[in-house]
Amino acid sequence: MSHTHLLKALLGAEKVQAVEDALLAVEKSIDYSYVPVGARENNRGAIDVASDPVRAFIERITNAHDAILELEHQAHNGNPMCRSPREAAEAWLGVPASTGLSGLTPRQRQELAKRTIVRLEPGEGAQSRILSVIDSGTGIERQELPLTILSLNASNKIQKHYLAGTYGQGGSSTFAFCKYTLIASRTHETSPASFTVIKYEELPPEEYKTGQYVYLIHQGLILQGDLDPSVLKHGTLIRHFGYDLSKYTSALGAKSLYGMLQRVLFDPVAPDWLEEKTKLSDSAKPRNRTIKGTRNALNGAVDPEDEASGPTKMSYSMPMFYAQLGDFGSVGYEYWVLAMQEEGKKSPASSYVDSARPVIMTHNGQNQDEISALFLKKDADLPFLSGRLIVHINCDRLASGAKRKLFASTREQAREGVVKARILAELLELLKADDELKRINAEARDHSLRQRDAEAEKQVQRQVSKLLGIFGSAPDTGGKTSGGSGDGPVSSRPPRPAPRPIDIQEPPTYIRILADEADKLRFYAGQRRYLRLETDASSEYHNDANPKQSRINVAIESTLKVIGSSPLRGGRMRVLVQADSDIEVGTIGSIRVELYRAGLAALSDEKVFEVVPVPQPVEKEPKQSLPQFEIILVAGPEDENWPLVCDDSETNDVRDHASCALMNSGVLYVYYSTAYPKYSIEIRKLEQRDTNVAESFRRRYEIWLAVHALLAHSEKNEASNDLHENERLLRELGRQERCRVASVAVIMALQEVRSGVNTEDDE
């Protein structure tokens, strides 16, 4: 078989068996042999580094983008000099650096996407697909293939700042998820295509502990064959046979190839064109789609092949905000609060990210880490925005030393340490300083509550206190627990009203500093604080990316410094100010904000600041009082509060969810499902016999759930606040525990009502 016939056979193969038949014909010749990838006999450790097949494949897409940027670099003779893939994409591909792909028209995105094609074919099924990536980049010369795409840890990109690749091994991780890989490349349409096939080869077990990955050569050289330009004009084609996509069998969503590509390529420097040549489910039609990344979808980018629903519905969003982190460089933060789902059957965020890990950290647009929703629920005290709040942390502007400490070569998770901790601490300050987030969280909390009979709630409160007393944990409520004794339940603090809209004027007429303090702004040494500004100027008056081009200036004493600002939107913005670490207590100065208008006098506002002592931690009382609590019933998956019972679980089965507790603003909210089978079956039986007994059973069931939730909360406060690396396992164990507790609560409540215990709050 000639090399051209072999290449055509491999390109036309639809099954693994067809590949093996084609290779069998040439492997019999002594002129053909296999050599180890990377010229390493022991190469399995360097290749088997990825844990997810799609994340590994995305390294191939990153290499495809690099090949396109390399081609553009040659075409433009390296001008202008670009220090990052983002700069290169803006200079040579026309992708705006600030808005990314959402700043292009749908037609522009589609034309650019077709320079990198991702093709999915049926193969033998979900465990054995054919998955290809085809780029129209530079292509690779025959003699360069062993030194580049077939190498391991080579340094051919390490000095090319305009490319994303660094470590020289990421793409090879796809070999571990498939049976054979065809790599074909050509530098221009008149040249022959250079190609080879990679496979895993077992070695004699009596001599070797493990096998190795090898590629096919002929007489010591990479194979070459003629190739129709319609298949590959110039660039590189990589075709994986037997690729395991058994985790991604859905047509859309988190369990689909499309959804995972969107999620991990969160903000890609260039789009990709996904061609699905296979029906992934009986109800879904194969389709072609633009991969533009989740960030661009959240920022309003809609393509013709997207759903007819149009742009994502938002309750609130904060544009990219860069904060200076000293020697670590700067980090960009932005976030989106999705609108509530009317049906409430799943969290809106799950269409875009893993809703259990909605804080996305990226570098060069690629997902590098995902932070747990516990960070938003517990640390940021925004539990009722779970499933709606998505946060993006852009690490492109970190200093090189900080990047080295933060990022691992696998790109699957950032390293724990001082850099990551500093980035998350800044995010926490940003979220806590956003009054609108607090307002929307309170609004969502109040929306989830149900009206309860006040007297019945008092009975539950009294019984819970008695039972907790038995366990040695009676709450010190002072008669102010929600639904406790007194004139009725103490209502939670109402949410702040939505900020009034500001009428934008041209020319603007005012600018002011907003502050809670009536007299002086207070800082302590080393403190970073967000100051809110309000003006009727349009957004064009402020350039947060380049303060020198902004017409809003913050004049400040030398002991304080401005280290970042948000975009001006709707007349509102925030400025991040930091006090020197050695500033003296008692120092008094001023912060002045100025807005310059062409041909008119500048507008200004000024506030006095005072340096106060660093606040000392308050010593906790030895006696720990339990929080106020509210109990809210949820009528199954159709209830809008169902996501609060599911707690970001991947399963939606009523048998798997009994209850969940959320702490917010000092109140513990206990949500329980009336559809949980062991509860629903018993209460229906009792309702058929006696509605009073059924009501007593319901009340006593709530009592036992509340007791468990309060005890569990108390134990959590005594434990470490650190997020555990096995949080998914812990979350699943917590769900199972709550189901067991609900089953016990059913037994206890039934025993009480059957034993004739008085329903009127007996001892």
Can you give the pLDDT at residue 486?
Answer: 36
**Least confident interval from 39-53, 128-142, 171-185, 621-635:** 621-635
Can you give the pLDDT at residue 6?
Answer: 95
* Crossing angle between the packed helical segments 454-470 and 691-718, to the nearest 10 degrees: 50
Residue 664's H or E segment, with its range, is strand 659-664
Can you give the pLDDT at residue 472?
Answer: 54
Mean pLDDT of the chain: 83
Mean pLDDT of 291-301: 93
Backbone angles phi and psi of 757, in degrees to 5: -65, 135
pLDDT at 668 over 80: yes
Q: Is there a contact between 631 and 705 (Cβ–Cβ < 8 Å)?
A: yes
Can you give the pLDDT at residue 491?
Answer: 46
Helix (H/G/I), strand (E/B), else coil: 100: helix
Tokens of 634: 């949820």
pLDDT at 437 over 70: yes
pLDDT at 296 over 90: yes
Nearest partner of 661 among 713, 722, 723, 733, judged by Cα? 713
pLDDT at 280 over 90: no
Can you give the pLDDT at residue 452?
Answer: 56
Confidence band, pLDDT 50/70/90 cuts, at residue 378: confident
Can you give the pLDDT at residue 704?
Answer: 78
Work out the number of other CB atoms within 10 angstroms of the CB of residue 763.
6
Give CA angle at 223 (222, 229), nearest 5°: 120
Can you give the pLDDT at residue 537?
Answer: 94
Can you give the pLDDT at residue 468?
Answer: 65
DSSP 92: I
Work out the number of other CB atoms within 10 angstroms of the CB of residue 49.
17
pLDDT per residue as tens digits for the range 84-99:
999 999 999 999 988 8
Which has more pLDDT, 744 or 293? 293
Mean pLDDT of 105-113: 95
Which has more pLDDT, 296 or 627? 296
Tokens of 204: 């004699």
Can you give the pLDDT at residue 582?
Answer: 87
DSSP 204: -
Question: Could you tell me what percent of the chain has a pLDDT over 90?
Answer: 44
Burial, 188: exposed, middle or buried (Cβ in 10 Å; 0-12, 13-18, 19+)? Answer: exposed
Q: Is there a contact between 448 and 632 (Cβ–Cβ < 8 Å)?
A: yes
Separation in Å, CA 158 to CA 85, 153, 167: 13, 10, 8
Can you give the pLDDT at residue 696?
Answer: 82
Mean pLDDT of 283-287: 59
Dmax over Cα atoms in the chain, in whole Å? 94
pLDDT per residue as tens digits for the range 309-364:
667 789 999 989 899 898 999 999 999 999 987 554 567 888 899 888 999 999 99
**Least confident interval from 172-176, 400-404, 616-620:** 616-620
Mean pLDDT of 142-159: 83
Nearest partner of 390 among 436, 434, 435, 354, judged by Cα? 354
> Which are the contacts of 12, defined by CB distance < 8 A and separation ≥ 6?
18
pLDDT at 649 over 70: no
Mean pLDDT of 387-393: 94
* DSSP alpha helix (H) spans, 483-531: none
Mean pLDDT of 575-596: 91
Backbone angles phi and psi of 20, in degrees to 5: -65, -35
Can you give the pLDDT at residue 517?
Answer: 78
Mean pLDDT of 252-258: 82
pLDDT per residue as tens digits for the range 205-249:
888 888 999 999 999 999 999 999 999 999 999 999 999 999 998
Q: 757 pairs with which residues across the strands?
A: none
pLDDT per residue as tens digits for the range 449-495:
765 555 566 666 666 766 666 555 555 444 333 333 333 344 455 56
Residue 120's H or E segment, with its range, is strand 116-125
Which has more pLDDT, 254 or 170? 254
pLDDT per residue as tens digits for the range 653-665:
888 888 888 888 7
Amino acid at 169: Q
Can you give the pLDDT at residue 283?
Answer: 47
pLDDT at 37 over 60: yes
